[in-house]
Structure 1
């Protein structure tokens, strides 16, 4: 999916967005890009020594910070970020446009380097590495490669605060789509199982409300995904179409009541499920 994120539910849209303080070293500002796929919008995070009062008053010194996911192209949002922090580094959690579209504007305003898992998204700096510790600001930030939603997805943890920025790997509400063929169900399940064994973190998602405990989120999402696979197996068996099923035919049945705006992402996730069943030898293949 090139221009939006990944949750398949709608929500009320706030009249205005303001900075939300989430811990001693983190805060976020939500972009005004609400939709059924992005929930209230994309949450752009800043990480650094933010002080007791954030954002700073006009004319006051700005804290030095790492900016995560500048959002879709929105000059006003880029200017609001640059007004609040001295940008040391820009990091993107994955390649979708609702996360990277504003990178050029923020880079032009601040001159800050840009890092991502995908080398092509980087500007003036090298690509991120799994288990790398970023030391661009006063608090250490650990990088976790977390494929599944996309192949290049990463998460960032701040051990000092017990926070983890999960991008679209774990949303604040609902479930993420798997952007097949770039997204992969087996990778996603592996990512959730790794994170499930990392208790003590609170989730800061790129979309939706923050505050869920990481372990509980992973248990919830693992149960959801495994239940979906069980349901798909049942449907295939009932239809006698478990050798080379048609994704579009299955989608017409499974997603008959799904709004058109999320039908495409839903079908991509379905294809990721079928690819998973093919990889483990339960079906021979599938067609579009």
Structure 2
């Protein structure tokens, strides 16, 4: 069966490893790329500085790893914006996004806000879905986007851009892992983002998506449906173990990503079990 065509394939996006360390994709936003590139983080974590130009203030979204070189690059970008940090926001609790949140909050003297108290710490602020933050001369709307993790949030800016964390990657697809991830919730989150009519998607990893962000969101929903169809077709022939399914569905994946592929497969099987299509016993899956 043929896979859905990714609209990003014709966009001329920066090749892996070629993203600029610092960029200004729009007046409200500066992106600073953290030096933590890997098969899972792509070029590294994108830390976004958000604020109205001339306000003298900025919000840090996803500070990423607590790395001195990254902090220095962020401070240089803040100086270029002539801005001080008034808040640190985090899309979700994974360390490549959240490790620096509390240390940087203390460093900048700014509150940390997220959906998880494990990220914010006892003195932080828990964000509620749908609330509007008025910070740094602009607004950020809190959009619940669970699926990749239960605590995942996105932030819609006044420009119509959405900072999507790991709900959408600039290249490829986000991992929805077992047992932390939830494919049903993730699909709902993709549709919620689509319904916002985003002007652009600024991702937690990889390049900005500006040409047709809604097409990317539709593609990601179609991609998940394609993965489900592949699993069901394999199981229609015979019961399979998770490693057998991974080998068949991901024949070209690099070894470093195989554990993530296995977790994603398990999460998809969880969805199919919940819908009554599949039974799973340990590593073995079969049609219901």
Instruction: Place the TM-score, normalised by the shorter chain, in its bin.
Output: 0.7 to 0.9
**Corresponding residue number in structure 2 for 1:146:** 145
Measured after TM superposition, the shift of residue 237 of structure 1 is: 0.4
1:210 to 191, 208, 211: 208
The structure with more strand, counted as a fraction of residues = 2
1:276 to 266, 271, 274: 271
Measured after TM superposition, the shift of residue 79 of structure 1 is: 2.9
Aligned residues: 263
Measured after TM superposition, the shift of residue 200 of structure 1 is: 4.1
Measured after TM superposition, the shift of residue 192 of structure 1 is: 1.1
CA distance in 2, matches of 1:200, 1:78: 29
**Corresponding residue number in structure 2 for 1:12:** 16
CA distance in 2, matches of 1:121, 1:50: 28
**Corresponding residue number in structure 1 for 2:9:** none
Contact 1:17/1:31 (CA < 8 Å) preserved in 2? Answer: no
Q: Secondary structure at the match of 2:135?
A: coil
**Corresponding residue number in structure 1 for 2:232:** 233
Q: Secondary structure at the match of 1:211?
A: coil
Unaligned runs of 5+ in 1: 1-10, 52-61
> Structure 2-normalised TM-score?
0.85
**Corresponding residue number in structure 2 for 1:72:** 65
CA distance in 2, matches of 1:117, 1:42: 19
**Corresponding residue number in structure 2 for 1:222:** 221
Contact 1:32/1:41 (CA < 8 Å) preserved in 2? Answer: yes
Distance 1:200 1:169, change over 3 A: closer
CA shift digits 1:175-212 (9 cap, x unpaired): 11002211111011111122222224210111111033
Contact 2:86/2:111 (CA < 8 Å) preserved in 1? Answer: yes
Within 5 Å, give how 1:177-216 maps onto structure 2: 177-212=175-210, 213-216=212-215
CA distance in 1, matches of 2:29, 2:281: 44
2:252 to 257, 266, 288: 257
Q: Secondary structure at the match of 1:209?
A: coil
1:63 to 34, 56, 71: 56
**Corresponding residue number in structure 1 for 2:103:** 105
CA distance in 1, matches of 2:200, 2:60: 19
**Corresponding residue number in structure 2 for 1:59:** none
Measured after TM superposition, the shift of residue 22 of structure 1 is: 1.6
CA distance in 2, matches of 1:70, 1:284: 41
**Corresponding residue number in structure 1 for 2:282:** 287
CA distance in 2, matches of 1:237, 1:20: 49
Q: Secondary structure at the match of 1:285?
A: strand
Measured after TM superposition, the shift of residue 115 of structure 1 is: 1.0
Within 5 Å, give how 1:12-51 maps onto structure 2: 12-14=16-18, 17-51=20-54
Unaligned runs of 5+ in 2: 1-14, 284-288
CA shift digits 1:39-75 (9 cap, x unpaired): 1111100111234xxxxxxxxxx93111001111211
> Structure 1-normalised TM-score?
0.85
CA distance in 2, matches of 1:168, 1:155: 9
CA shift digits 1:123-147 (9 cap, x unpaired): 4232110001111221010001101
RMSD after superposition: 1.9
CA distance in 2, matches of 1:271, 1:211: 29
CA distance in 1, matches of 2:207, 2:226: 24
CA distance in 2, matches of 1:233, 1:142: 38
1:164 to 153, 162, 165: 162
Within 5 Å, give how 1:77-156 maps onto structure 2: 77-83=70-76, 84=78, 85-123=83-121, 124-156=123-155
